[in-house]
Copies of this chain bind each other. A is one copy, B any other.
Amino acid sequence: MTVELISVGTEILLGNIVNTNAAYLAEKCALLGLSCYYQSVVGDNEKRLRQTVELALSRSDIIILSGGLGPTKDDLTKEVTAEVFGRKLYEDAHSKERIVEFFRQMKSKKITENNWKQAMVPEGAIVVDNHNGTAPGLILEGENKTAILLPGPPNELKPMFEEAIAPYLGRLQPEGIYSKMVKLCGIGESKAETMISDLMDAQSNPTLAPYAKTGEVHLRVTAKAESEKKAEQLMAPMLKELYNRFGSMVFTEEEEVTLEEAVAALLEKKGLTVTTAESCTGGKLAGRIMNVPGVSRVYKEGYITYSNEAKRKLLGVKEETLKAYGAVSRQTAEEMAAGAAEAAGADAALGVTGIAGPDGGTEEKPVGLVYIGCFVKGHIRVEEFYFTGNREKIRDYAAVRALTLLREELLSYA
């Protein structure tokens, strides 16, 4: 069964707001086993809205419209959709009562004439109560096409979808869609792609699709089945194969687990604490580690040492090292990591020093050159990287690579 999303609103066309409703609805529909091949955005314009609704109905089983249910005359979603379905509007007593009740509760506000427009509903439509606003949701069932109309504000749309629309759509679905997200670190998108192109060609059930994130590659394995157990049986061989090919590069197969969470879990498992000493990343690395709830068990303190003096004072990097090799060097990264571990009394430490640009690059040490030192229980490894991109991207890459390096060292630490 296919679904198509239509977001109605000039503010989206102008870029005043990001269309988070579409992402929310798309994810929910995918989880309900509905295939979504198109999303579109159109303004509060009768002609263009009708064209968009008619096109969507011509190619999808279910269309979900959001926005344009407000009380003003340029809110047209209900009127246009009803017309396409050949339904007249009538005043729904129940909806009118709810509007009165809503305003009674919001003592501050007064009902204006145009509010009654929101009590008008298409003949034969299923009216869905809105517990957070005055515009009811509507379900129009045609002969073999269905239109679902939802209010635009996310705090009205989301609860309404959870409470009424998801159950309604669930009843239409024979099969569910289940998926795993196999996440890789320490490998580029292209390389990962070439390693799975044969599996991707075998697009059937389950399917395999790659997503590139900064410094990571995510592989989504999706199966259609009548039960989660059946789906897991379908996905098992594909997952096994991915582990065979990528081995320890796989840091999770769970949608919601991040790289920093995987690293933090590894630290807890090994009973180790970690600290960070950052120059060019300047807090970005620590900031990511700190995204992990409960991370205080493994991370106590960290240092941002941008100046040479800070590197000496806080981390004990030697004057001679800075003089002989410079602040951006393998030796400095090594002393930063070791010094941070000692200063924090931590079992492990990451030291990051590099040239994030846009200035400060030289022929010998170009912008993008980053050294990352990783200390784990007395053993130190330093890696050299050349990242491309702007200042922010170079710093983002450095943070991900540091986490990846730490993970590798933790895995090899008995």
Interface residues of A, Cβ cutoff 8 Å to B: 10-20, 22-30, 36-43, 45, 48, 52, 55, 70-74, 102, 105-110, 112-115, 131-133, 153, 155, 159, 188-191, 193-194, 197, 200, 209-212, 214, 220, 276, 278, 280-291, 293-296, 299-307, 309-310, 313-314, 344, 357-359, 366, 368, 384-393, 395
Contact A37/B28 with A113-B194, A287-B282, A300-B307 known, Cβ cut-off 8 Å: no
User: A283 to chain B: which residues have CB within 8 Å?
Assistant: 276, 278, 283-290, 302, 304
User: A384 to chain B: which residues have CB within 8 Å?
Assistant: 107
Quickly give the copy total for this chain.
2
User: A344 to chain B: which residues have CB within 8 Å?
Assistant: 310
Task: For the complex formed, measure the closest distance between the CB of A411 and the CB atoms of chain B, giving whole angstroms.
Answer: 19
Contact A388/B37 with A191-B110, A200-B74, A284-B287 known, Cβ cut-off 8 Å: no
Contact A19/B16 with A190-B71, A193-B72, A290-B282 known, Cβ cut-off 8 Å: no
Known: A22-B41, A102-B388. 18 other contacts (CB 8 A): A11-B211, A13-B39, A14-B26, A14-B27, A14-B36, A19-B19, A38-B42, A39-B40, A55-B55, A70-B189, A71-B193, A72-B193, A107-B385, A112-B190, A282-B286, A283-B286, A300-B306, A303-B304
User: A189 to chain B: which residues have CB within 8 Å?
Assistant: 70-72
Distance A309 CA – B305 CA, assembled complex (angstroms)? 20
**CB distance B392 to A155 under 8 Å?**
yes
User: A23 to chain B: which residues have CB within 8 Å?
Assistant: 12, 15, 17-19
**CB distance B42 to A37 under 8 Å?**
yes
Distance A20 CA – B212 CA, assembled complex (angstroms)? 14
